[in-house]
Chains A and B, each alone.
Chain A
Amino acid sequence: MVAPAFEYVAAGSYDEAVRVLAATSEAKILAGGQSLMPMLNLRLAHPELLIDINLADQRQPSVDGGLLRLPALTRHRVLLSHDLVRRHCPLLAEAVRHVGNVRVRNRGTVGGSLAHADPTSEIGCCALATGARVVARGPDGDRTVPASELFAGYWTTTLAESEIITDVLIPVARPRQGWSFHEMVRRTSDFAIVAVAALIVLDERTDTIAAARVALAGVADRVILAAPQLSGQLIGSTADEDLGAAADEIAASLAPPDDVHASGAYRRRLARVLTARALRQARARAAGAAGAAGAAP
């Protein structure tokens, strides 16, 4: 009644959904609907056809060959509490607490969130920090796209119009790996003003940093990875001040936009503060219990 009129078809499989998608010019994929439906109700989108994929896949999260495989339709509620997610990607389980409200988390899906490509997305931020990849199915079959090559700009991905995300593949957390997620919002459940996800791996013997990755949301037209040379300079470091210096340089490398929620300068300041906190917490977790999984901040 509020949304513009459209046709609707429920696809019984991804192959069917891709077939219909490729054959229709103005079609949209409907997963959890927690971003698309508001856009329809606000008349920001005018598709002629919605292809509902909620019945296309019944798989559950699984782990295989060092990868946590999340079927794209995995709902946020499942990410919060699923044993495999908490064990193998505690970063994501924690970050999802910041996604929307309870109704959004009950319906929203991990694949839908990535395909929506909101520049403030907590899930997109985690996908970058963990080095995740998505499996996209198109008319010519499946291909794998690294999260670092998925986001093209505001609500835009590099996927072809006839491709659908079917799986999200996340390298499982290693021993001596620590994680951290920090977000600033005015009210819990709001879109992030700035969010930061950090992963740090410590060397087995020396406790120096062996790898570091920082992803940020809310600071550009898409979720972004901090430049590898900036986070990479932490490799070999043991000093606390190096973490603060890296956060300073990462923040200085950003040119966040002004909008009604915050100025670009405030966002850059938040990026510096939150990145420093995230790096320190990630390193502390890496240095803590070998698993370092799931520990409360």
Chain B
Amino acid sequence: MNKRQIVLSVNGRDHELWVLPSDTLLDALHDELGLADVRYGCGEGVCGTCTVLLDGEPTSGCLILAVQAAGHEVTTLRGLMGPGEAMHPLQECFLRRGAAQCGFCTPGMVLTSLDLVRRRGRPSREEIRYALVGNLCRCTGYTKILDAVEEYADAVAAGSPPEAVS
């Protein structure tokens, strides 16, 4: 199997890299580009720790090939952050509410719930649960995560905070 050269657009920057046809997007982002915020969890698309936004939609990095992602816009958690690694308002809500403990699931939680708020405005708690069912957390018991997403959605619905760079 020969490696082939692709251009991946990640968090607004183009990266040229060589990948095997069988490399997943997760392999390319984590192992080749060194993005520690995209994580290998289950390899089956169940746990959500490798979640990225592909053209704005939550996607399992372990279930799409790197070669398939060429030509699409990939956003990881880092892509939400502002200049100087300023945190996204939703990350601030996670911190304030104690919604991250070990932090392994947090990037996927943040990306998935951000997509939900963008689509649904102010989702109900049930809608948040439904959207996050594919993101497993072994620390928090989820309650504080739901609190954080609700706080963020309330703030967005009230006109603040402005959405940071996406």
Would you give the shortest CB distance from B148 to chain A, in whole angstroms? 18
Q: How many angstroms between the C-alpha atoms of A1 and B54 in the bound complex?
A: 21
A290 is an interface residue with CB less than 8 A from chain B: no
A87 CB to closest chain B CB (Å) equals 21
Q: How far is the CB of B49 from chain A (nearest CB, A)?
A: 11
Instruction: Determine if B31 is an interface residue (Cβ-Cβ < 8 Å).
Output: yes
Q: Convert B70-82 into 0s and 1s, putting 1 for each residue whose CB lies closer than 8 angstroms to a CB of A.
A: 0000000000000
Contacting pair A38 B65 (CB below 8 A) = no
Measured in the bound complex, the distance between the Cα atoms of B21 and A103 in whole Å is 22
Verify B44–A42 contact, CB threshold 8 A: yes
B interface, by DSSP: helix, strand, loop or mixed?
A: mixed
Chain B residues whose C-beta falls within 8 Å of the C-beta of A6 in the assembled complex: 1, 21-22
Which residues on the B side are within 8 Å of A4 (C-beta)? 22
Say which one of B7-15, B55-63, B93-101, B154-162 lies at the interface with A. Answer: B55-63
Interface size on A, residues (CB 8 A): 31
Identify which of residues 16-42 in chain A touch chain B, using a CB-to-CB cut-off of 8 Å: 30, 33-34, 37-38, 40-42
B67 contacts chain A at the CB level, 8 A cutoff: yes
Inter-subunit contact A8/B22 (CB<8 Å) = yes
Ranked nearest first, the 9 interchain pairs of A and B with the lowest CB-CB distance are: A101-B134, A8-B21, A41-B43, A37-B63, A38-B44, A106-B57, A1-B27, A5-B1, A189-B133
Q: Hey, which bits of chain B sit against chain A, CB under 8 A? A: 1, 20-24, 27, 31, 40, 43-46, 48, 51, 54, 57-60, 62-65, 67-68, 112, 115-116, 129-131, 133-135
